[in-house]
A and B are shown apart, each in its own frame.
Chain A
């Protein structure tokens, strides 16, 4: 195996261990936002899509790269925005504002 591969394997192993440590400390109430947050992080595959787009030189490759770009971007942008929406709700409210439903959240008022 090449040096680069061995180094990559070391990085991979350490990152897995870090993942176990970071996650195991999260309280259950935050599991859904956490899953969503982790979901946006694997949108990093967008970087891979950009690299294959730059190396594409035939119609099939162009097509594959384009679909990968669309998919990856959707994963990244949507993932972060929806996670932010979830976490935004955990703010401690300073004073209890009369909660009128804002249209943006789509929940009809009581």
Chain B
């Protein structure tokens, strides 16, 4: 078979793989077809990688033994590590795992670009140089940034915004260095600047280093509450870096898949930021979440909170006609998804109408709470999104808030509070409110929750799982 003929087939296979990615993403529109969509996308990946292998082997000169060993061993090690972590991770820790996968993806894109640059060494045309340097730079930023973001979610690095004195200046300085380095490299490639090969490589090293440190200084001052938005943004960056690598290698599947992810990540980032009523600029510039300066706005809430016992709550719940459960991150941390489903099923068997109110940012990422509850076999139709459930709070007898805080704070409806303007669940409209919470500790926004001092609210101080178990036992005993 002629080279050209094989290349045509390989190219068509790449296009087929890329089509699978697009169609797979499209099928992720609905819970019913989501899984098959992901499998279609995975099939596209197998086709694309398989076609690449055929292409490399059949190419003139073939694949050297060393290269084959690198490919096979690298795949076994990386794939094995990915498979193991993906299968063993707890669903609550899943956001940081996604962040880790994003980091290594960005790292791979940067390495591909760097390697290409070293090989072309000073011989690269202007356009290639632009794509190589952009790929290396963006890949480096996402690598270090995603690692920091994952570390914050995992608790390895404090979730609070970390301010380094003059940190903003350092970040801006690094950005300037990266841009200047990029311009110099492009000028060198264009012949406007004469750079030796050592100087060229040195400049690239400076750009990459600046990118790596930039990723760290960019994410460190951002609070844990905003991490999902940051991860989504970095996800988009990685897609772009992969597309840049695609330009360098002239590979269509890399360009299509990279652009697809770049666009999807951008949209998703905007949606997440919108759900929290924060602009992306705002998040990147200002630290939010667990900050010290957040106090002032809501005065005098420290007032009376009413404590309530599990038995009283059980009676309220068992004789209610409609109960809305508001799960938050506290529920996820306490691994109480199964406990909450048990209580809900028990109440339903007594004829109580039970629904779950899911705030767009409940959990650690949009949709994270749905995943956690689905894991506990909570029927999907019972999960109601914010816009759908909010009118129902007026008719609901008991709202049971479990480990959710800022998303229920009525202070968000007034200006002047750090959470102002954030869409909230209208929990305070319910006839009666029960909050299961470990302590009066503050949420990510670092402010008091006025809901807790509402006369209609009873506080059940307990770990989410223990509290729910106590409630279930008490309802059974009725």
| A interface residues with partner B (beta carbon < 8 Å) | 1-2, 4-5, 8, 11-13, 15-20, 22-56, 60-62, 64-93, 96-97, 99, 101, 104-110
Contact = CB atoms under 8 A, between A and B. Distances in A.
Contacts of B32: 90, 92
Given A42-B257, A45-B258, 13 more contacts: A12-B247, A23-B263, A33-B367, A41-B261, A42-B258, A45-B254, A46-B75, A47-B251, A48-B249, A61-B119, A72-B108, A76-B49, A76-B82
Interface residues on B, range: 35 or more
B268 A23 contact: yes
A68 to B, nearest CB: 4
B34 A30 contact: yes
B305 interface: no
Interface stretch (B91-99, B307-315, B402-410, B439-447): B91-99
Closest CB pairs A-B (n = 8): A69-B74, A19-B263, A78-B82, A73-B78, A15-B259, A89-B374, A90-B31, A81-B86
Contacts of A23: 25, 263-264, 267-268
A98 B86 CA distance: 25
Interface stretch (B64-72, B184-192, B214-222, B449-457): B64-72
A96 B85 CA distance: 29
A97 B377 contact: yes
A45 to B, nearest CB: 4
Interface stretch (B234-242, B289-297, B413-421): B234-242
Contacts of A20: 263, 267
Contact of A82 (B49, B97, B251, B377): B97
A37 B70 contact: no
A69 B70 CA distance: 8
Main secondary structure of the interface of B (DSSP, over half): helix
B90 interface: yes
B338 interface: yes
A16 B259 contact: yes
B329 interface: no
A107 B49 contact: no
B396 interface: no
B245 interface: yes
B25 A77 contact: no
B242 A71 contact: no
B209 interface: no
B246 to A, nearest CB: 7
Contact of A69 (B78, B252, B261, B336): B78
B105 A43 contact: yes
A32 B366 contact: yes
Which label, helix, strand, loop or mixed, suits the secondary structure of the A interface? Answer: helix
Contacts of A40: 38, 41-42, 45, 101
A10 B365 CA distance: 33
B82 A81 contact: yes
A70 B77 contact: yes
A105 B372 CA distance: 11
Most A C-beta atoms less than 10 A away, residue of B42, B115, B360: B115
A48 B34 contact: no
Contacts of A12: 243, 247, 255-256, 259
A51 B249 contact: yes
A93 B377 contact: yes
B48 interface: yes
A48 B89 contact: no
Nearest to A24: B267
Contacts of B260: 15-16, 18-19, 22, 38, 41
B200 interface: no
Nearest to A17: B263
B180 interface: no
B111 interface: yes
Nearest to B234: A39
Interface stretch (B167-175, B279-287, B379-387): B379-387
Given A48-B108, A49-B108, A107-B375, A34 B268 contact: yes
Contacts of A50: 49, 52-53, 56, 71
A77 B117 CA distance: 27
Contacts of B64: 54
A48 B254 contact: yes
A40 to B, nearest CB: 7
A72 B104 contact: yes
Contacts of A90: 31-32, 34-35, 370, 374, 380
B374 A43 contact: no
A61 B242 contact: no
A82 B37 CA distance: 14
Contact of B271 (A28, A86, A88, A108): A28
